[in-house]
Amino acid sequence: MSEIKPSQASSILKDAIGTNSEDVTDIIVYAASVALETAIQALKSDSVCTCEARVICTNATEDSMPHHMKTEEGLVHMGNIEELNRTNIEPCENFEGCTKSPDGKCMIAQKYREWIADQEWKAVDETSSQGEGKEKLNKETSYMVCTEYEGVIYFYDDGQVLLSNYLYNNEWHYKATADYISSISYLTGDWDDILKEIREAYEKNKEVYEEISAANGYLPPELIAAIHYREKASDYLAGTFSVYLHNGDPLGEMSTKEPKPPFFDKEEFKAAALHALEGKEDYFNIYAKKLHLTSDSEDITAMVTFSVLYNGWNHEGKVDYAYNGTDLYTKGAYTSDHQYDPNAKPENLGTYLVLKELLNQ
């Protein structure tokens, strides 16, 4: 039987009854499906939802689906984003899970009044307002903060970069790093050959960095590899994994350089690396969380920021550890603990160029 259009169903049914039972059955099934589809569309119309205006949280688990926001009238889709304003903070439902919650559960749909910072969206469109608290949202910049677990909730659609905007406006180390990166004009040499070696070494030993990343729970493997390269380039390139990630001293010996780690044996690179990446009193884990770093992060600005903090942030954060090989850095480096030489220049490239290569950016 050929496809039947809804407009034809009534007349065809009249003609078909009593003549062909198969046609009658087909028509009844079709009519039922049309009725069901009509009911679904009616429900969608009532809730103003077309499944396009959705939000996600930086702490949502990988299986979490983006969800819609609600107003007093129901759900809102992206085409009608003008219906949302600063105080429309209610998500339609919880995300499937929360990576920072002790029990792994998200309760934002029930707790949004308590958990959303100041009970409002941030970075709204101040030029479009219908009164206090009625400022419209900007899909490119607006976000909310879940204070309970420090998650950032932002519009998922259109490939937005809300998280980086949030960090730029709220984390001064990140902002400084972003400004430095944007000011880079040129490279100070032809680094193609060394960058190729760095990439090949990473690809050969990627599993090691991925295992450390998974155990750490915050830092992506590319960042861990970049730190390894900076701490001891020869060990990184050879893939021997025989040094403390804290400072590049050889494993199996008591380290004499700052920061001085506890003793780790020659075969304990991964354990020593995890200890180094946690930092004293969990310092580096705390900063990784502030920068919203995860094992699958691709935010090079957050990674470079972390690398500078790992090495030691000076009064500017413009250091060879991150920017050697670019015009942002010329000379001056610590040649040993507390010994700064204004004319010294390390041979190793900075983490910025290393990460650009490993992240294909």
- Please write the tens of the pLDDT for every residue from 91-128: 889 999 998 899 999 999 999 999 999 999 988 877 77
- pTM over 0.75? The answer is no
Secondary structure of 207-258 in HEC code, one letter for each residue? HHHHHHHHHHCCCCHHHHHHHHHHHCHHHHHHCCCCECCCCCCECCCCCCCC
Angstrom distance (rounded) from CA 302 to CA 173: 9
pLDDT at res. 74: 59
For 194, the token pair is 């060394």
Most confident by average pLDDT, 231-245, 256-270, 326-340, 345-359: 231-245
Place of tokens 């309970």: 148
Most confident by average pLDDT, 83-97, 116-130, 161-175: 83-97
- Please write the tens of the pLDDT for every residue from 180-231: 999 999 999 999 999 999 999 999 999 999 999 999 999 999 999 999 999 9
pLDDT at res. 78: 46
Lowest mean pLDDT among 136-145, 279-288, 346-355: 136-145
- Please write the tens of the pLDDT for every residue from 14-33: 454 454 555 555 555 555 55
Confidence of residue 167 (pLDDT cuts 50, 70, 90): confident
- On the question of a cis peptide bond just before residue 259, with omega within 30 degrees of 0, the verdict is yes
Q: What is the mean pLDDT of residues 25-52?
A: 47
